[in-house]
A and B are shown apart, each in its own frame.
Chain A
Amino acid sequence: MNITEKILAKASNQKTVSPKEIVEANVDAVMVNDLTGPLAVDSFRKIGAKKVWDPSKIAIVLDHLAPASSEKAAELHKILRKFAEEQGIPGLYDVGEGVCHQVMVEKGYVKPGALIVGADSHTCTYGAFGAFSTGIGSTEAAAVFATGKIWLRVPETIRIDVVGLFHSYVTPKDLILHIIGHIGADGAIYKSIEFTGSAVRRMSVEGRMTLCNMVVEMGAKNGIIEPDETAIKYLRLESAEMVKSDPDAHYEKVLEIDVSSLEPQVACPHSVDNVKPVSDVSDVEIDQAFIGSCTNGRIEDLRLAAQILRGKNVKKGVRLLIIPASRMVYLQALREGLIETLMEAGAVVCNPTCGPCLGGHLGLLAEDEVCISSSNRNFIGRMGSVKAKIYLASPATVAASAVTGKITDPRMLEA
């Protein structure tokens, strides 16, 4: 069995499982946020359950509209605070703690071999640590609150072996955009994607999270990477279940990618699989640049942005928004002097939140405006006006573009 099959087998108390089989799995942790949680609370009440199955395994993160962007958003937050109190759920992460997927990792819900579900599509991020994790809806989260179980179809797995050395300023974000462009927005529906190979082993945890985070943009159920010392160290675990794929594990397909020849990639409007090399779009003028989100708002991303922006200025007429993914990331960036560098260059640094990524608040787009973003979706209307255009790229490409005012290969800026 491969790693995903092993986790699903264990979680459903079976020796083995095969693709397409439907299992009822025990859940190790479940997460809801401020946009999906209130509906889950409503469903939980309608189910008629009185107490949640295990308060310690439930995380509630107020992140999408944090701090409350409107009176209605404040009401949503209030519903969740009240529910956490009533049910004795210790894991209520209030305004300012950060984006749910970063918070879940920092607060210890994510462990190798665990099965985690969350009412947010980017829950697949935790595969970076060898966990099986996937997105679900609110009512299903409510059912997990009540029972601690969920039905899952065992997915077929595509293995992607990544080899070679990245050029400087070419990042895991460029790799995953390249993969999505190749596989397509519907190319991995219901499937698992397992990343292996020397380039993945060398990759930082932040980079691995970016890879797993975006598998949902190909329709995948989960993305996963075998846990290793790098992952364990990041989680500050003393020991962990180092679940690994068997040498004879079955894969539906195996792809090999050499990153040595990869150049920075950009996903063009209005689809995440509309991916082009940066050189093809380098004349596109931008109004806004955004670095943040569960995809690319971590310390490594901010370091990269600061490296590019140090001693330079954001182009007049362009807004550069920077949103650290969590309080911990923000504090680390402060200690390293990154925030100062970014502010001096002209960036606007906001509190940890999902914010503009989903058109929630803090930097929406007007008609005909163009944004280059380190986030994960460029759908019509995603960040505001249905007439705005969103280009997705790495934090390096976004930072370089903020300096020149048009989409820019970060390697050109350096030269």
Chain B
Amino acid sequence: MIISGKAVKFSDNVDTDVIIPSKYLVLLDPNELARHAMEGLDPGFYEKARRGVILAAGKNFGCGSSREQAPIALKYAGVKCVIAESFARIFYRNAINIGLPVIECENVSGRIADGDELMVDLENGFVKNLTKNATFQATKLPPFIMQILKDGGLIENLRRRLGVK
């Protein structure tokens, strides 16, 4: 899977309360959730993300609550992939389970600027910064996680494995 798009930068420890504030957790429609994505840090994020972007963040992205609404809000807002130096584990699992690609890439934060054109190769585990003409090694996803992403998320993956027509 190859993903391309412009970078939107965030710093370390972006928590799920800023990704999607708890007052919106009563919303069940993913498109409604998306309108409030990142509202805690950047109220203009939704407009920015709609054209399709790649988030590039520092350490511990998605820390805090288990709310799956966090990766859902990002995905439906237009985020195609999240690159971070590390992820909080529940966010990481949730993102994969709902079919939002995530990739760990060491020391990436200082080497990507807001607006840089990026290309992510998930299978081969690298990130290219086309604007700066640089390539960074990332952590390859294990095959079974890659398969969940290829299926489009855990629901589709399970349907296939359980033989649900």
Alpha-carbon distance A135/B22, docked complex (angstroms): 17
| Residues of B with C-beta under 8 A to A381 | 17-18, 21, 40
B13 touches A72 (CB 8 A): no
B64 touches A121 (CB 8 A): yes
| Residues of A with C-beta under 8 A to B98 | 137, 139
B60 touches A380 (CB 8 A): no
Alpha-carbon distance A380/B90, docked complex (angstroms): 20
Closest A residue to B41 by beta carbon equals: A380
A80 at interface by CB-CB < 8 Å? no
Chain A residues 357-415 with CB under 8 Å of chain B are 358-360, 377, 379-382, 386
Which single member of A35, A75, A185 contacts B13 (CB below 8 Å)?
A185
A380 touches B18 (CB 8 A): yes
Alpha-carbon distance A379/B16, docked complex (angstroms): 9
Given A379-B15, A381-B21, A38 contacting B65 (CB threshold 8 A): no
A49 touches B89 (CB 8 A): no
A377 touches B159 (CB 8 A): no
A204 at interface by CB-CB < 8 Å? no
Stretch at the interface among B46-54, B66-74, B116-124, B125-133: B66-74
| Residues of B with C-beta under 8 A to A196 | none
Which single member of B22, B41, B86 contacts A189 (CB below 8 Å)?
B86
Chain A residues 32-52 with CB under 8 Å of chain B are 35-36, 38-39, 42-43, 46-49
Given A73-B26, A140-B97, A189 contacting B68 (CB threshold 8 A): no
A219 touches B22 (CB 8 A): no
Given A35-B67, A47-B158, A139-B153, A377 contacting B17 (CB threshold 8 A): yes
B1 at interface by CB-CB < 8 Å? no
Alpha-carbon distance A64/B18, docked complex (angstroms): 18
Chain B residues 13-48 with CB under 8 Å of chain A are 13, 15, 17-18, 21-23, 25-28, 40-41
| Residues of B with C-beta under 8 A to A121 | 64-66, 90
- A residues contacting the other copy or chain, number (CB 8 A): 50
- Minimum distance in angstroms from A11 CB to a CB of chain B: 17
A 152-178 to B, binary, CB cutoff 8 A, 1 in contact else 0? 000000000000000000000000000
B93 at interface by CB-CB < 8 Å? yes
Alpha-carbon distance A262/B68, docked complex (angstroms): 37
B2 at interface by CB-CB < 8 Å? no
| Residues of A with C-beta under 8 A to B90 | 121, 135-137
A39 touches B64 (CB 8 A): no
Closest A residue to B155 by beta carbon equals: A46
A22 at interface by CB-CB < 8 Å? yes
Closest B residue to A33 by beta carbon equals: B66
Alpha-carbon distance A100/B93, docked complex (angstroms): 22
B89 touches A189 (CB 8 A): yes
- Minimum distance in angstroms from B93 CB to a CB of chain A: 6
B12 touches A382 (CB 8 A): no
Alpha-carbon distance A155/B160, docked complex (angstroms): 29
A48 touches B164 (CB 8 A): yes
B94 touches A219 (CB 8 A): no
B40 touches A49 (CB 8 A): no
| Residues of A with C-beta under 8 A to B110 | none
B64 touches A47 (CB 8 A): no
A 105-140 to B, binary, CB cutoff 8 A, 1 in contact else 0? 000000000000011110100000000000111111
| Residues of B with C-beta under 8 A to A190 | 89
| Residues of A with C-beta under 8 A to B142 | 22
A70 at interface by CB-CB < 8 Å? yes
Alpha-carbon distance A1/B38, docked complex (angstroms): 42
A89 at interface by CB-CB < 8 Å? no
B63 touches A186 (CB 8 A): yes
B138 at interface by CB-CB < 8 Å? no
- Minimum distance in angstroms from A381 CB to a CB of chain B: 5
| Residues of B with C-beta under 8 A to A123 | 66
B 58-90 to A, binary, CB cutoff 8 A, 1 in contact else 0? 011001111111000000000000000011111
B155 touches A137 (CB 8 A): no
Alpha-carbon distance A137/B65, docked complex (angstroms): 9
B154 at interface by CB-CB < 8 Å? yes
Alpha-carbon distance A380/B68, docked complex (angstroms): 19
A271 at interface by CB-CB < 8 Å? yes
B66 touches A219 (CB 8 A): no
Closest B residue to A359 by beta carbon equals: B22
Alpha-carbon distance A58/B89, docked complex (angstroms): 23
A221 at interface by CB-CB < 8 Å? yes
Chain A residues 176-191 with CB under 8 Å of chain B are 185-186, 189-190
Contacts A135-B90, A380-B18 known; 4 new A-B pairs at CB < 8 A: A119-B68, A120-B66, A137-B90, A139-B68
> Which A residues contact B (CB, under 8 angstroms)?
22, 35-36, 38-39, 42-43, 46-49, 64-65, 70, 72-73, 75-76, 118-121, 123, 135-140, 142-143, 146-147, 151, 185-186, 189-190, 219, 221, 271, 358-360, 377, 379-382, 386
Ordered by A's residue number, 5 sampled pairs between the chains whose C-beta atoms are within 8 Å are: A72-B26, A121-B65, A358-B22, A377-B17, A380-B15
List of 8 A-B pairs having minimum Cβ-Cβ separation, nearest first: A186-B60, A48-B164, A137-B94, A72-B26, A137-B68, A379-B17, A121-B66, A135-B66
> Which B residues contact A (CB, under 8 angstroms)?
12-13, 15, 17-18, 21-23, 25-28, 40-41, 59-60, 63-69, 86-90, 93-94, 97-98, 142, 144, 153-155, 158-159, 162, 164
